[in-house]
Amino acid sequence: MLKKETKFLEELNSPEKKIGLRATAYFTSKDKSVLSKDLKSQLTISLGENFLKDLEQNLKDKMLSPNNLLVKMEFSPLPEKMHREIFPFFKPGSYLKIRDILEGILFCQILREEWGLNQELKILNIQESLSTKEKELLENFREQQIKGLIQTLSDKDPGWAYSALVILARLHTIEESIQTGSPVFLSSFPDNSPIVYKEDSQDAQTLQHFSEETWAIVSLARKKISTLNELTEKEYQIWEDASNRAFEFQEGIQTSIPIRVTSEKLLPQRENKFLIPMYLPESSILKEYLIFARQREKEYHTRLKKLYPFRILFENCTTEILKNAQNSFDQKEINFPGKKIELNFSLSFIPFYASYSVSNNWNNEGEKILLSYRRKKLVELLKQNPNLKTRILESFTFSSSIYKPNKEDHFFPLFTDDVFWGRPLYGTVNLAAGFGTSLIGIFTLPFDKGEKLQKGFQSLFFSLPELVFFNIRKGTFPSVSIKEIPEELFQFQDED
């Protein structure tokens, strides 16, 4: 939120004074919308004849007032005390209220003037047409969205205007989906998404693989949706998100353009900038606002880094999972089931030992071992060819039929996850390979910007634990099809 607040103040300090507003890019004044016209009639019946007009005027009056929220801008103070156990949220200041007002003004204008959907910001899921069940679910979902829009406008809870804009935009794509018989969604990749470029033929093969995988995920989502009695916001968002990612790969491959990627949930937030009449404080005051906002954002991030450091030996992913699980129990209400692990004096920062500690200290229903992809495939392979030659060939990365070297991994000759007593010996070989790669990397430094040297250090780092019987490295398998992944690994697929 602090970044968005700073961005807003940067826009106010710019010569144009145009403000970027979320979900407004999905509409264009160049086209008229029959859907919006019909929707206005429904709002009139439910909320009153002058509701939309009065709402818009009221919002505009708030921004034109000499005593508006901008003139009396409030910045909520950072938390005085920050604890690791409780994430340091803080109360929002004036910015969120101002954003609601500005987005509300645009919503009223878009609906009043019956703006149409921006055809450049929609995607078509051309993989398969809608089934009869999917069409029925979308028709019911459309009615629920209309009711939700009316309720949103009536309640005007924080964030109401953005929600109303998204619902209005989605109603257009839902209507088009029903009319055409093919899924249509809003393009929801952020404008500042990271870009992936194709550099060689291997990249082209990888992109094609990922394209097939993303469409497979869309198929899985649709398969699950088809079993539902009612389509909810959650399932629709998953369908929309998956289709956006699949469509992005498809377009990138077909047109040879860079591909946008993101690890975050895709939500329709594409914005346009608008010049909205408002009473502004003096330029010097706006500048002071911006300076203060930037300083506060920087200070907050600095505090968070100190509060949540990453130390590979004592504060890593494993220790934090254990810590959060143990701290989630309130001793006054529910006693912790078992004995808590003392993480300050424990080897539980190592995943293998953490599992051992949990089994010995926590009350549990038993263990379930889920083999890694390679080990599962190796078991199947050894059942077919139970001989020493197969085991030796599969032990080396360069002769394995299961593993293929890829850009994600550094160089290491031997797998150590399926051996124990021989692990230090294997680790010694891997360590030597890491040294060799690092030495070569010194000479190639001017040509590859240190890539090989970095890979060499990574190889050394992951080889050292193997000398004392610990295995961390499993190898990555980016080309494995989703259909090859064991079904038991999807047992948590219903979780958010």
- Quick one: pLDDT band at residue 198, thresholds 50, 70, 90? low
**Res. 122: pLDDT tops 60:** yes
**173, 274: one domain:** yes
Torsion sign across C-alpha atoms 248, 482, 229, 131: positive
> What CA dihedral angle connects 372, 373, 376 and 378, to 10 degrees?
-110
**Res. 313: pLDDT tops 90:** no
Residue 119 lies in a domain: yes
CB count within 10 Å of CB 310 equals: 9
**Res. 308: pLDDT tops 90:** no
**Res. 125: pLDDT tops 70:** no
The whole-number average pLDDT for the span 112-128 is 89
Question: What does the pLDDT read at residue 490?
Answer: 54
The full DSSP string for 222-279 is HHHHTT-SS--HHHHHHHHHHHHHHHHHHHHHHHT--EE--SSPP-----EEE-----
- Quick one: pLDDT band at residue 2, thresholds 50, 70, 90? confident
The full DSSP string for 442-482 is HHHHHHHTTHHHHHHHHHHHHHGGGGGT--------TT--G
**475, 356: one domain:** no
**72, 155: one domain:** yes
Residue 33 lies in a domain: yes
> Model-level pTM?
0.78
Question: What does the pLDDT read at residue 29?
Answer: 94
Q: Using DSSP bridges, classify how beta strands 259-260 and 19-21 pair: parallel, antiparallel or unpaired.
A: unpaired
List, for residues 138-181, the tens digit of each pLDDT value.
Answer: 999 999 999 999 999 999 999 999 999 999 999 999 999 999 99
**274, 397: one domain:** no
List, for residues 383-431, the tens digit of each pLDDT value.
Answer: 999 899 999 999 999 999 999 888 888 999 999 999 999 999 999 999 9
Question: What does the pLDDT read at residue 331?
Answer: 67
Residue 209 lies in a domain: no
Structural domain that includes position 80? 18-196+270-279
Question: What does the pLDDT read at residue 364?
Answer: 86
Question: What does the pLDDT read at residue 203?
Answer: 66
Structure tokens at 174: 């839902």
The whole-number average pLDDT for the span 94-114 is 95
Task: Output DSSP code: residue 103.
Answer: H
**Res. 496: pLDDT tops 60:** no
**59, 160: one domain:** yes
Residue 3 lies in a domain: no
The whole-number average pLDDT for the span 67-76 is 89
**318, 380: one domain:** no
Helix 201-225 and helix 233-255, axial crossing angle in degrees, nearest 10: 150
**Cβ contact 267:167 at 8 Å:** no
Q: How far apart are CA 473 and CA 458, in angstroms?
A: 10
- Which of the residue ranges 276-290, 328-342, 385-399, 423-437 would you say has the lowest mean pLDDT? 328-342
**29, 124: one domain:** yes
Q: How far apart are CA 110 and CA 100, in angstroms?
A: 15
Residue 236 lies in a domain: no
> Mean pLDDT across the chain, nearest whole number?
88
Residue 10 lies in a domain: no
Farthest-apart Cα atoms in the chain, separation: 85
- Quick one: pLDDT band at residue 492, thresholds 50, 70, 90? very low
Q: How far apart are CA 87 and CA 489, in angstroms?
A: 30
**355, 387: one domain:** no
Question: What does the pLDDT read at residue 153?
Answer: 95
Place of tokens 């929707």: 39
**486, 407: one domain:** yes
The whole-number average pLDDT for the span 8-36 is 94
**395, 469: one domain:** yes
Question: What does the pLDDT read at residue 487?
Answer: 63
Residue 51 lies in a domain: yes
Residue 64 lies in a domain: yes
**346, 411: one domain:** no
The whole-number average pLDDT for the span 80-109 is 84
**392, 332: one domain:** no
**Res. 334: pLDDT tops 50:** yes
Number of domains, the chain:
3
**Res. 489: pLDDT tops 60:** no
Q: How far apart are CA 166 and CA 27, in angstroms?
A: 11
